[in-house]
């Protein structure tokens, strides 16, 4: 009789935990400029290797190199720097407001600013993002009013969502920002549907879908890839791989040593993997994918490689599950520093101007926060009415809801 | 006026709306070239083209997920889920997304989508082709739930659902597709062509959501029914000789509580029937509402006759199904109490 050893279950573990030395030695980073730039009508089979590489433009000396360079003029780059710095200043202020008890919850995008900001700058008015909760840069790069964003964070009387949504779950049709659900993954396949609608109507608008590394494990991620591969609508499928899903490292989402970009290959989708902390790379690849979608060549799947420098949210403490200094060991640097250095190398920026801009933005954010707080903060001052609860459940309030509202006396 | 069965009436509703409104699209498993496993979309792809009527992968979460995205864009999608039993993978997209989008975005984005699904037993479909999970949807804030019992209503209610700016769950009792089945499974079913409710006007009309219909006027007891159970209740009333007032709810949410209240106050008795399981079924909600609005007019405890709290069985289908004998016994209990 054949003897079989008792089976045992394999559970992936990250290579380091709190107290260990951060270790990115196995993380292969191709040289800036080394990944080729295909034509936008390229077939999926011709670029499978791009799902394993990393497209990078900025080298260590702050120079833009290789086939993806040369896309961005000075003015656009300076604007991008400003939006990234504004996003960071906004985050710092709102994080502090949460700590001061002015709201219940906050989520920063510290270290990931380049992705949303540069991507938005590659899109056009009328296009629609289906974001997750760490893409506030999309709104800031669209110059969405800061006070309006802050009023949402404070759930105050100025909140355009009437206090119904948790902080950071923004929605703005006018700014091309679909309502954030908070249910991870659901928006990914909705973006595909929106893009299908654009194609059905013979429109030229495109959709951009967002998801984190952790939520690529969700059903709707796979539904989205499936529908995108079947109907080839004008959609960009973004994965922001910031290495951590709350406390869960990415081995739990992937199950094996593959890149997230390779997830798309089985669906026959064009996939690219990009340095998400390289503003020029994010912009150049976004432009490529946008043009591809708008010219009806179909979806592009993009893995943006980055690192979540901050905690998952104001309710999270990363020192409990990863080395404290892991973020400073992250080998791809800080997106703002990298763009700043590049612009100095370009000769259009300086340290002094950088400090000056930072102070300017700090004042702008402070003034906006003061104005937002004049409309109340969570639990303090003017607040959305209880009546808000009963409205917009349906377009017209049915009798049972009217009775309940009367019962509540509002 | 044309004679239609329920399949033809449902198809005609979609045909009318596809013709009137370029934003209407129809999709689901097998609905395109083939025209649907129950033929409800037969010919629509040929008539309106592949980009408006098309097949989808077997992925219900995706079917509803893309419908939500299309609705947000401004289309008016009609999504078919092949059997109500298959809707569960889409439940998150329906409950957390379609139902709440208007509320959570303060009206910036809406879900004017209709999700059609055949429901109910009687075709030896076992546990995966027989369920009517209406209570899972009536429990959700932001959804409307519709369940017609005949071709005339099916067409008018489906047009109203498609035109509604909120998400509508549209159940189609598959045992009624070809005729008013009354639960006597051993007898032939009268075709809709011989029934008054098989007279279906051509072109556009609506049966408004939220209005019940009285199918049989009576003075002894009020029976609250919907879908197949409307005809089962009619058979049970005829066979027991009890003068029942049978209300066909047609729309479960919003509910026509006024009509229910008026009838129960008149008869003083109430029997609630449905095919789905008993515990936490929609009958429990109806019973509570009748108690709250009519308590001092009630002469007997409210009775419920429903499917048993078991999975829908295959060989024992007719033991599970609340047929005329069980409904008749329920009528007698509520009369004798």
Give the ipTM of the model, two decimals please: 0.97
B204 is catalytic: no
Decide if B109 touches A, using CB distance below 8 A: yes
User: Phi first, then psi: what are they for B270, rounded to 5°?
Assistant: -150, 130
As beta bridge partners, residue B126 has none
Domain membership flag for residue A297: yes
Return the closest-CA partner of residue A30 out of A5, A50, A1: A50
Q: Which domain holds residue A103?
A: 48-313+346-379
Return the closest-CA partner of residue B113 out of B139, B141, B74: B74
Domain membership flag for residue A2: no
User: Which CATH number do you get for residue A77?
Assistant: 3.40.50.970
Q: How many domains does chain A have?
A: 1
Domain membership flag for residue A203: yes
Please determine, for residue A290, whether its predicted confidence score (pLDDT) is greater than 90.
Answer: yes
Domain membership flag for residue A164: yes
CB proximity under 8 Å: B 246-275 to A:
253-255, 257-258
When pLDDT is cut at 50, 70 and 90, the band that residue A44 belongs to is very high
Q: Pick from B56, B103, B254: which is nearest to A164 by CB?
A: B103
pLDDT at B219: 98
For B37, residues 6+ apart whose C-beta sits below 8 A from its C-beta are B30, B82
pLDDT at A384: 95
pLDDT at A26: 86
How many contacts, defined by CB atoms under 8 Å, are there between A and B?
141
Beta carbons of B253 and A223 less than 8 Å apart: no
| Structural domains in chain B plus CATH codes | 2-200 (3.40.50.970), 213-336 (3.40.50.920)
Domain membership flag for residue A329: no
Beta carbons of B104 and A186 less than 8 Å apart: no
Domain membership flag for residue A16: no
Cα angle A88, A94, A96 (rounded to 5 degrees) comes to 105
pLDDT at A256: 73
pLDDT at B33: 97
The pLDDT tens digits for B285-320 are 999 999 999 999 999 999 999 999 999 999 999 999
As beta bridge partners, residue A30 has none
- What is the number of alpha carbons within 13 Å of residue B164 lying toward its C-beta? 30
- Best B65, B78, B145, B211 member to test A by mutation, with max A CBs in 10 Å, is B65
The pLDDT tens digits for B35-51 are 999 999 999 999 999 99
The pLDDT tens digits for A236-271 are 999 999 999 999 998 899 887 689 999 999 999 999
Helices and strands (H, E) in chain A, number of each type:
12, 7
Catalytic residue among B103, B106, B129, B314: B129
Domain membership flag for residue A102: yes
Beta carbons of A197 and B97 less than 8 Å apart: no
The pLDDT tens digits for B177-192 are 999 999 999 999 999 9
Decide if B72 touches A, using CB distance below 8 A: yes
Q: Which residues of B fall within a CB distance of 8 Å from A161?
A: 104-106
For A96, residues 6+ apart whose C-beta sits below 8 A from its C-beta are none
Q: Is A121 within 8 Å of A79 (Cβ atoms)?
A: yes
Domain membership flag for residue A305: yes
DSSP secondary structure, A252-297, as one string: HHHSSS--GGGGGGGGT-EEEEEETT-HHHHHHHHHHHHHHHHTT-
């Amino acid at each position: 009789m054949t003897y079989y050893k008792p089976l045992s279950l394999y559970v992936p573990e990250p290579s380091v935990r709190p107290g260990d030395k951060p270790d990115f030695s196995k993380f292969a980073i191709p040289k800036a400029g080394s990944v080729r730039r295909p034509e936008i009508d390229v077939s999926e089979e011709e670029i499978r290797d791009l799902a394993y590489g990393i497209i990078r433009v900025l080298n260590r000396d702050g120079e833009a190199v290789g086939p993806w360079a040369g896309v961005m003029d000075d003015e656009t780059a300076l604007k991008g720097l400003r939006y990234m710095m504004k996003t960071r200043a906004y985050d710092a202020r709102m994080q502090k407001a949460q700590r001061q008890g002015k709201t219940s919850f906050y989520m920063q995008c510290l270290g990931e600013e380049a992705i949303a900001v540069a991507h938005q700058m590659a899109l056009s008015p009328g296009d629609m993002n289906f974001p997750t909760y760490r893409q506030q840069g999309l709104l800031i790069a669209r110059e969405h009013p800061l006070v309006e964003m802050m009023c949402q964070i404070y759930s105050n009387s100025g909140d355009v969502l009437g206090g119904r949504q948790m902080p950071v779950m923004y929605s703005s049709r006018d700014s091309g920002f679909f309502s954030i659900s908070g249910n991870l993954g659901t928006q990914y396949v909705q973006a595909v549907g929106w893009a299908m609608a654009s194609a059905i109507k013979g429109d030229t608008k495109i959709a951009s879908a967002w998801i984190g590394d952790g939520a690529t494990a969700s059903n709707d991620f796979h539904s989205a890839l499936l529908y995108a591969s079947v109907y080839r609508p004008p959609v960009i499928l973004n994965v922001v791989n910031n290495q951590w899903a709350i406390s869960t490292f990415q081995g739990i989402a992937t199950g094996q040593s593959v890149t997230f970009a390779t997830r798309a290959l089985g669906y026959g989708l064009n996939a690219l993997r990009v340095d998400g902390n390289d503003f020029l790379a994010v912009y150049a690849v976004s432009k490529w994918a946008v043009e591809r979608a708008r010219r009806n060549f179909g979806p592009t799947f993009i893995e943006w490689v980055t690192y979540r420098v901050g905690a998952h949210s104001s309710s999270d403490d990363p020192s409990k599950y990863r080395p404290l200094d892991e973020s400073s060991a992250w080998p791809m640097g800080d997106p703002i520093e990298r763009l700043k250095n590049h612009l100095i190398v370009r000769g259009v920026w300086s340290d002094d101007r950088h400090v000056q801009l930072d102070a300017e933005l700090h004042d702008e954010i402070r003034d906006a926060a003061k104005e937002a707080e004049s409309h109340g903060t969570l639990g303090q001052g003017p607040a959305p009415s209880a009546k808000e609860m009963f409205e917009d459940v349906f377009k017209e309030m049915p009798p049972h809801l009217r009775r309940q509202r009367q019962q509540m006396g509002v | 006026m044309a004679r239609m069965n329920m399949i033809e009436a449902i198809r005609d509703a979609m045909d009318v709306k596809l013709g009137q409104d370029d934003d209407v699209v129809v999709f689901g498993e097998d609905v395109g070239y083939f025209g649907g496993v129950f033929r409800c979309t037969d010919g629509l792809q040929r008539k309106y083209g592949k980009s408006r009527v098309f097949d989808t992968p077997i992925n219900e979460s995706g079917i509803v997920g893309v419908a939500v995205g299309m609705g947000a864009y401004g289309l008016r999608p009609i999504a078919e889920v092949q059997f109500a039993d298959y809707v569960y993978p889409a439940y998150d997209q329906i409950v957390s997304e379609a139902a709440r989008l208007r509320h959570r975005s303060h009206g910036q984005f809406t879900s004017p989508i209709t999700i059609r699904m055949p429901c109910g037993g009687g075709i030896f479909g076992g546990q995966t082709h027989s369920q009517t999970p209406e209570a899972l949807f009536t429990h959700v804030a932001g959804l409307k739930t519709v369940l017609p019992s005949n071709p005339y209503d099916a067409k008018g209610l489906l047009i109203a659902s498609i035109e509604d700016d909120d998400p509508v769950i549209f159940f189609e009792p598959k045992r009624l597709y070809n005729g008013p089945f009354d639960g006597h499974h051993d007898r032939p079913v009268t075709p809709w062509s011989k029934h008054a409710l098989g007279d279906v006007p051509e072109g556009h009309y609506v049966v408004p959501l939220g209005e019940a219909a009285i199918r049989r006027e009576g003075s002894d007891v009020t029976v609250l029914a919907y879908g197949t159970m409307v005809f089962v209740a009619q058979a049970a009333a005829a066979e027991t000789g009890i003068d029942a007032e049978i209300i066909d709810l047609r729309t479960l949410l919003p509910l026509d509580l006024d009509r229910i209240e008026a009838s129960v106050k008149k008869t003083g008795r109430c029997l609630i029937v449905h095919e789905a399981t008993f515990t936490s079924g929609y009958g429990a909600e109806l019973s509570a509402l009748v108690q709250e609005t009519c308590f001092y007019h009630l002469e007997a405890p409210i009775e419920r006759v429903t499917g048993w709290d078991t999975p829908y069985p295959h060989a024992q289908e007719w033991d599970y199904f609340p047929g005329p004998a069980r409904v008749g016994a329920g009528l007698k209990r509520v009369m004798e109490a």
